[in-house]
Structure 1
Amino acid sequence: MARRARGGSPELEALDLGHLALFVGMRVNALVLEKVHAAGFPGLRQGHGYVVQHLLEAPRTISELAELLGVTQQAASKTVAELRTLGIVEAAPSEDARTRRIRLSERGHAAIDTTRAIRAEFETRFRRAQGAQVVDETRRVLAAVLESLGGAETVRRRRVREPR
C-alpha cells in the first residue's frame, strides 16, 4: 500500500512500479496526442494506434484486424471507418475483388512520422532533465520487468491489445 502524504494523496515514489509506469505512459500519451492534434491530425486517439500497429506490417482485411485486435468484426470495422474519415487509412489495391484490404495512406504514414518525432522530442527532454544514463537504465529495467512478466514477445510481434 502506498504511503499517503497530507490530504490523503499517495506519495509518488511509494507507488508500485506497475502503477507508476502506467501513469507515466498515460501522461506521455496524452501529451503526445495533444501535439499530434496540433500538428494537423485532429481526431486521432490512442485506440487508433492498436489498428495502425497491424497496418505497419501489411495491408489487412477487417477480419484479420478483428482477430489480431481480439474484437468483433463490427468493432474493427468501426475503428477503420474512423481512420478512413481521418484520412489515415485507405483501401489497398487488390487482384481479388472479394477480398478488401485496408492499408495506411500517405497521410497515415505522415501521422506516424509526426508521432515518432514528437516522442523523440520527449525522449530528448527526459534525457536532458534526468540524464541519459538514468533514462537508459530506466529503459533497461522496464524492459527486463516486461520480459520477466512474459509480455515482451507481445510487444515485439506488435500484438498489444487495447486494455479493456
Structure 2
Amino acid sequence: MDDALALPALVLALSGQLVQKIHARVSQEGFEDLRPAHGFAFARISFGDATTADLAEHLGVTKQAAAQLVEELVRKGYVLRLPHPHDARARLLGLTETGWAATRAADQAARAAVAPWREALGEERFKELVADLTRLAPHGPIRPAW
C-alpha cells in the first residue's frame, strides 16, 4: 500500500483503539455512565470560557445537539452552568468535582493506553513521535487544562 494511503488508515485505527481503551478504563474507574463523546466535551469545558455554542463548534455538532449533551452532563452531575460575566443570555460551562475526577481518570487511562507504544518505540523515538505529531497537529492535543 502507498504510504500516503497507509498513514490515514493507521492513524484512524490507532485513534479508534485509543478511544476504546480510554473509555474502557474510565468505565472501570466507576464512570460507567460516560460515553467517549463526553470526554471530548470535557476537554473543551476544562479549557475554560466555554459556552454551549463553543462546545458545539469544538465537537462539530449543532448548538441543539451540544445543548442536549450539556443537559445530560448537568443531570449526571459532571457539568454545571455558571453566569457569563459579559453576556446575560449565555452561560459558561464548568466541570464539577465529579467531572474533574472523570477527567483525571481519562488522563491516567490515556497514559496507560500509550504505554505499550512507549515500550515498543523506546523513550527517545516515542518523544520524537510526539514532537512530529505536535508539528502536524499544532492545535492539539485535546487535553484538559488543569
Q: Same fold (TM over 0.5)?
A: yes
State TM-score, norm by structure 2.
0.77
**Match of residue 138 from structure 2:** 152
Deviation at 1:134? 2.8
Could you tell me whether the CA contact under 8 Å between 2:83 and 2:90 is conserved in 1?
no
**Match of residue 121 from structure 1:** 112
Structure number with the higher helix fraction is 2
**Match of residue 6 from structure 1:** none
Pairs within 5 Å for 1:1-164: 1=1, 16-92=6-82, 98-144=89-135, 146=136, 151-153=137-139, 155=140
Percent identity of the aligned residues?
32
Structure 1 residues not aligned, in runs of 5+:
3-12, 159-164
Q: Distance in 2 between matches of 1:70 and 1:135?
A: 30
Query: What secondary structure does 2:80 align onto?
Result: strand
Amino acid at match of 2:138: A
Q: Distance in 2 between matches of 1:70 and 1:14?
A: 26
Deviation at 1:14? 10
Higher relative contact order (Cα pairs below 8 Å, separated by 6+ residues): 2
| 103-112 or 119-128: bigger deviation | 119-128
Deviation at 1:86? 2.9
Deviations 1:17-58 (A, max 9, x none): 121011012112101100100101112222223322221122
Amino acid at match of 2:65: A
Could you tell me whether the CA contact under 8 Å between 1:89 and 1:108 is conserved in 2?
yes
Structure 2 residues not aligned, in runs of 5+:
none
Deviation at 1:85? 3.0
State TM-score, norm by structure 1.
0.70
Could you tell me whether the CA contact under 8 Å between 2:39 and 2:103 is conserved in 1?
no
Q: Distance in 1 between matches of 2:59 and 2:112?
A: 29
